[in-house]
Structure 1
């Protein structure tokens, strides 16, 4: 599947904003104020909340525009860059140290898991453009997918239903459904049993 470009900073931020294009902001002042407000909330109310308070953290994310299904477990050490771009079905989990960098909409299917220290990167820069603009991609982490501890998912990579990205692996290409990947870059190592077939 082709990467789904959602945002190109060059199309939204005027070239004359800064003489040096590397100093040009990637987002509007409104976006930056929203992120500052969210970061203060994360520091004062989210990060220090007791581990079992999953409903509390889901409520805070909803207050900032996230769509959270029932029974989501976002642990206090998890980080979400832009809650308003977070769309979760039921029972989505993000462990302590998991980081979701989502300048563009990021969808998580039912029972998707992002384990401790994993990083999902939703943006990069156009390094062939002198202005080095930020490019943000819409992404989907499929139902029952598992991003294992310290694994990384690159910008625009789509993770299929039931796919597994192994410990400390790096996904630079789409992950096929019900397939296990490992390594850096991640390669297919085996198929995963499609246990949902019996439930449909």
Structure 2
């Protein structure tokens, strides 16, 4: 079943905006200016902030439209492409080098984690269209999901509660809740033990 496209540049940007339709911009001028302002803010105030100041970085993300729950830990070298398309519940972590490319909305449940250099790719291109328009997809990461270091999640892929994507793996399909995946492309390895099964009351 095809994943629903949240944003198709071909529906918003006329091919006539460039002599070669392949070179047309993916977003409007207003959207590009908004991105420019955020990039300046990220370079001057976010990236340079002391490591313990997670509240400050959450404030900057909120300033640009993000929804940030309490006690989120976004580290100085983490990247968010579009804060206005980011929704985080409480205690979401994005480690140094982790990158969220989110031209469409991306949401993270409570205690979701992106480890070092993890990559969330929220868009691709329509390679069957000669104009090669950008296609962006909404994505959801469930509570207690974990994208391990240097792992990548492809466009439109979502992770269920407690799902784990192993070190350096690439997810091309949705990951089931409380299941561990690894490999390129990622395949199911085994089920993850739920906290309740270990006598914990966190879930």
**TM-score, normalising length: structure 1:** 0.97
Q: Indicate whether 1:132 and 2:132 are aligned.
A: yes
The 1:19/1:196 distance shift into structure 2, 3 A limit, reads: farther
Structure 2 match to 1:119: 119
Structure 2 match to 1:103: 103
1:115/1:148 contact within 8 Å kept: yes
Structure 2 match to 1:30: 30
Backbone CA RMSD of aligned residues: 1.1
The alpha carbon displacement at 1:116 in A equals 0.3
SS in 2 for 1:5: coil
The 1:13/1:196 distance shift into structure 2, 3 A limit, reads: farther
**Whole-angstrom CA distance in 1 between matches of 2:129 and 2:23:** 14
Structure 2 match to 1:6: 6
Q: Indicate whether 1:61 and 2:61 are aligned.
A: yes
- Count of paired positions: 200
1:4/1:139 contact within 8 Å kept: no
The alpha carbon displacement at 1:4 in A equals 3.0
**Whole-angstrom CA distance in 2 between matches of 1:44 and 1:95:** 19
Mark the runs of 5 or more structure 2 residues left unpaired by the alignment. none
Structure 1 match to 2:190: 190
**Whole-angstrom CA distance in 2 between matches of 1:10 and 1:178:** 37
Mark the runs of 5 or more structure 1 residues left unpaired by the alignment. none
**TM-score, normalising length: structure 2:** 0.96
SS in 2 for 1:4: coil
SS in 1 for 2:135: strand
Q: What does 1:52-91 align with in structure 2 at a 5 Å threshold?
A: 52-91=52-91
The 1:2/1:23 distance shift into structure 2, 3 A limit, reads: closer
1:101/1:121 contact within 8 Å kept: yes
**Whole-angstrom CA distance in 2 between matches of 1:105 and 1:177:** 20
The alpha carbon displacement at 1:27 in A equals 0.3
**Whole-angstrom CA distance in 1 between matches of 2:161 and 2:106:** 15
Q: What does 1:32-51 align with in structure 2 at a 5 Å threshold?
A: 32-51=32-51
**Whole-angstrom CA distance in 1 between matches of 2:95 and 2:89:** 16
1:147/1:166 contact within 8 Å kept: yes
